[in-house]
């Protein structure tokens, strides 16, 4: 869950940057087809870039094979003093939980709304009178209906068909020929994940506006009188279309559409500014790979709502859980029995595995949770040895046995390696390394 939330937040940031870039550099240019392409690329990049983390591409999966290694038991300290690290901040938990709940409720609402709109559209198409042509199908409906197109269908009222069908059909045919509906469909599906982000909605509006500019340009290019066409747009400018995912004849700002019709074609040299968008995308990749950004994402990704809830419910015990014997016996047990996977050594895999061990009310190991993984096989070995520990004396609150969580760190390193432990409670497992 955490990975997904972090990903969505990164994606939102991309949308803000790309929208501002488009409005600043490209929105007023008459390169309509190029603008369409740029906006669509921006949409795709906003979802792809946050998933790219070059620093993680170097990790390799290894085959598991377990053999004995040598153990350095020099680093031991009191176990109890690190137990405070497992407590989750209450305020952070509340905020995180609310974000998740609100996001998925909003996602559900927007999805249902979109399904309803699609069903209304299909119902309208079915009940209309169909006239098939080679490249499109004209759907004539009764009553008031704003003209619009969807895929190969042009929906028009009987009144508009009798009075202004030439201009309207020419406009909607342009939408169909340029496959504008397909682009809107892609955007609408992606928009579900960014329903909360104003920049994403605004970027969709920019795409719809470009669609209208391009269709208007095609209409005028076939010889239809510009003044009469503009007067028709003014006449049809009352109200808005219900079908925001379709190409509507009266969509977008009327003033802006007429301005773009009258505007001179942009200088071809203006295309050079589009190249400036490429460094921004590259910069985004670098930003997402930055250690601080990655650490924030990792914090989200290693969290689960259920885990946060469990941790939050735990109070500091009056009597903390105790391993049989003295405080160092838990470390001695782990150090004596843990193994270093042979193939991990041969492949040169080292690192520090962190975990949280939950002690049940009867003293048995209830759960082992890896909080800082290194390699799935090293992680499995840590989980194995933790689950094999004998029963503890459970923690107590007001004389009653309660569950508690203990942190452990296990450092897998090669003889002569520079890897250092981060805590004086770490268990250090020394292997022979690659042969």
Cα torsion 141, 146, 150, 156: sign: positive
Burial class (CB in 10 A: 0-12, 13-18, 19+), 268: exposed
Neighbours of 271 (CB within 10 A): 13
pLDDT tops 90 at residue 195: yes
pLDDT at 381: 92
Residues near 428 by beta carbon (within 8 Å), at least 6 away in sequence = 71, 72, 73, 74, 75, 410, 411, 413, 421
Give the best-scoring range by mean pLDDT among 131-145, 191-205, 248-262, 416-430: 191-205
Chain centroid to Cα 39, Å, comes to 19
Give 306's pLDDT tier (boundaries 50, 70, 90). very low
Stretch 304-320: mean pLDDT, rounded?
57
Between 294 and 23, the more confident residue is: 23
Give 342's pLDDT tier (boundaries 50, 70, 90). confident
Tokens 């499109």 identify what position?
136
The domain limits of the chain are 2-52+93-114+180-241+250-289, 66-86+315-431
pLDDT tops 80 at residue 246: no
Tokens found for residue 69: 């290694």
Give the best-scoring range by mean pLDDT among 55-64, 194-203, 231-240: 194-203
pLDDT at 81: 40
DSSP 291-359: HHHHHHHHHHHT--HHHHHHHHHPPPPSB--B-SSSTTHHHHHHHHH--EEHHHHHTT--EEEEEEEEE
- Tens digit of each residue's pLDDT (9 = 90 or more) over 105-135: 999 999 999 999 889 899 999 999 999 988 8
pLDDT at 249: 60
Give the best-scoring range by mean pLDDT among 38-52, 82-96, 180-194, 263-277: 180-194
CATH of 66-86+315-431, one of 3.40.390, 1.10.1060, 2.60.120, 3.30.1150: 3.30.1150
pLDDT at 289: 57
Cα torsion 138, 143, 147, 151: sign: negative
CA dist 187 and 41 (Å) reads 11
- Tens digit of each residue's pLDDT (9 = 90 or more) over 91-107: 566 777 788 888 999 99
Stretch 409-427: mean pLDDT, rounded?
83
Tokens found for residue 348: 């040169």
- Tens digit of each residue's pLDDT (9 = 90 or more) over 36-75: 998 998 899 888 888 775 444 444 333 333 334 444 444 4
Stretch 196-209: mean pLDDT, rounded?
92
Cα torsion 192, 179, 250, 199: sign: positive
Give 282's pLDDT tier (boundaries 50, 70, 90). low
pLDDT at 295: 55
pLDDT tops 60 at residue 354: yes
> Poorest-confidence range of 20-29, 210-219, 248-257, 326-335?
248-257
- Tens digit of each residue's pLDDT (9 = 90 or more) over 385-405: 999 999 999 999 888 999 998
Q: Which residues pair with 72 in a beta bridge?
A: 428
pLDDT at 378: 92
């Amino acid at each position: 869950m955490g990975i997904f939330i972090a990903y969505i937040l990164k994606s939102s940031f991309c949308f803000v940057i790309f929208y501002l870039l488009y409005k600043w550099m490209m929105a007023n240019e008459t390169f309509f087809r190029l603008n369409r392409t740029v906006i669509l690329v921006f949409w795709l990049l906003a979802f792809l870039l946050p998933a790219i983390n070059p620093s993680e591409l170097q990790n390799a999966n290894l085959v598991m094979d377990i053999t004995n290694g040598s153990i350095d038991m020099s680093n031991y300290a009191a176990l109890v003093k690190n137990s405070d690290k497992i407590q989750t901040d209450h305020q952070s938990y509340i905020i995180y939980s609310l974000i998740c709940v609100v996001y998925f409720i909003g996602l559900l609402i927007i999805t249902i709304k979109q399904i309803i709109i699609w069903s209304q559209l299909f119902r309208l198409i079915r009940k209309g009178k169909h006239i098939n042509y080679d490249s499109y199908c004209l759907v004539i409906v009764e009553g008031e209906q704003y003209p619009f197109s969807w895929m190969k269908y042009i929906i028009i009222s009987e009144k508009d068909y009798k009075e202004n069908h030439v201009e309207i059909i020419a406009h909607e045919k342009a939408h169909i020929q340029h496959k504008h509906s397909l682009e809107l469909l892609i955007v609408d599906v992606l928009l579900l994940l960014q329903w909360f982000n104003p920049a994403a909605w605004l970027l969709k509006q920019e795409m719809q506006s470009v669609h209208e500019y391009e269709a208007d340009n095609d209409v005028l290019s076939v010889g239809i009188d510009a003044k009469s066409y503009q007067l028709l747009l003014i006449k049809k400018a009352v109200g808005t279309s219900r079908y925001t995912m379709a190409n509507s004849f009266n969509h977008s700002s009327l003033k802006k559409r007429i301005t773009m019709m009258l505007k001179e074609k942009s200088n071809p040299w203006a295309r050079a500014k589009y190249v400036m968008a490429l460094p921004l995308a590259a910069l985004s990749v670098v930003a997402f790979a930055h250690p601080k950004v990655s650490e924030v994402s990792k914090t989200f990704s290693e969290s689960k709502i259920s885990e946060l809830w469990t941790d939050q419910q735990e109070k500091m015990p009056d009597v903390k859980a105790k391993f049989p014997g003295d405080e160092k016996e838990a470390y001695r047990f782990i150090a004596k029995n843990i193994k270093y996977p042979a193939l991990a050594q041969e492949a040169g895999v080292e690192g520090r595995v962190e975990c949280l061990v939950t002690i049940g009310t009867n003293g048995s190991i209830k759960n082992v949770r890896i909080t800082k993984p290194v390699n799935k096989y090293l992680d499995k070995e840590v989980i194995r040895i933790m689950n094999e520990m004998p029963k503890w004396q459970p923690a107590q609150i007001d004389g009653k046995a309660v569950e508690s969580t203990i942190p452990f760190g296990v450092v897998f390193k090669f003889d002569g390696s520079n890897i250092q432990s981060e805590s004086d409670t770490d268990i250090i497992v020394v292997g022979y390394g690659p042969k």
